[in-house]
Amino acid sequence: MAHRLLVLYGSYRSDRLGIRLANYIVAGLRARGDDVELIDAKAIGLPMLDRMYKEYPKGEAPEAMEQLAAKIRDADGFVFVTGEYNWGVQPGLKNLTDHFLEEWFWRPTAIASYSAGRFSGVRAATAWHGTLSEMGMVVISSTLAVGPIAQTLDADAEPIDDGGKSLARAFPRFADDLAWWAEAAKTQRQKMKPPY
C-alpha cells in the first residue's frame, strides 16, 4: 500500500554531503511505490523561530509555513535525515521542526543519520529520538546510520564500496518498518479520533 511520506533534511552547508542520503531514501521509497517528497530546510528557508505556525491567526502565517503545515498534516509518516553537529542535531532541521507541533501528531517517523566519520551521526539520532517523541510522533525502532558518507554514497546517491552494500542491505527493513507503522497509524486514525 502506498503512503504519503516526507523526507526532511536540514543541512545549510554549501557542500552538503548528507543530501546524498536524503536522495537515496527518497528514491528507495519511491521505488516501493510511495508518494515521497523531500523537504529541504535550506530551500524552504523559514526564519529562526519567533512564532510557531499555530501562534499565527488563521490564514496569516507566512506562505512557506502554511504550505509546509499542509504537507505535514497530509503525510502518513516522516523520515528525518540528520547530520551530527558537535554531538548534537543540525540547527536548520531543528528550527524547521519546531515551527510546528500538532501537525506532527499521531504519525510515525524514522531517523537516518550520517557523518563524515565512522560514528555515522548516531549521537544526533539519539537526540532526535526524544525530540520527535515529545512532538507527538512514534519513532520506529529501525534506523539507518551512514558513515563515512562520502565512502557510502557517490554524488548521484548511488551506493559504493562496503558502506554502500551495508546501506542497501539495511534499507528494506527500515522501509518495511516505517510502512508498517504508517499503515497502523492511518488505520487507527480512521477508526478512532486521537484523544487530543
Question: What CATH number corresponds to the domain at position 86?
Answer: 3.40.50.360
Nearest partner of 68 among 51, 34, 45, 49, judged by Cα: 45
Tell me, what's the pLDDT at 175?
98
Is residue 196 in a domain? Answer: no
128 Cβ contact list (under 8 Å, min separation 6)? 80, 82, 89, 111, 113, 139
Question: What's the DSSP call for residue 150?
Answer: G
Which one-letter amino acid corresponds to residue 29?
L
The reply to whether 46 falls in a domain is: yes
Query: Looking at the 3D structure of the chain, how many domains does it have?
Result: 1
Q: What is the pTM of this model?
A: 0.97
Parent domain of 80: 4-191
21-49 pLDDT, tens digit each: 999 999 999 999 999 999 999 999 999 99
**pLDDT tops 90 at residue 196:** no
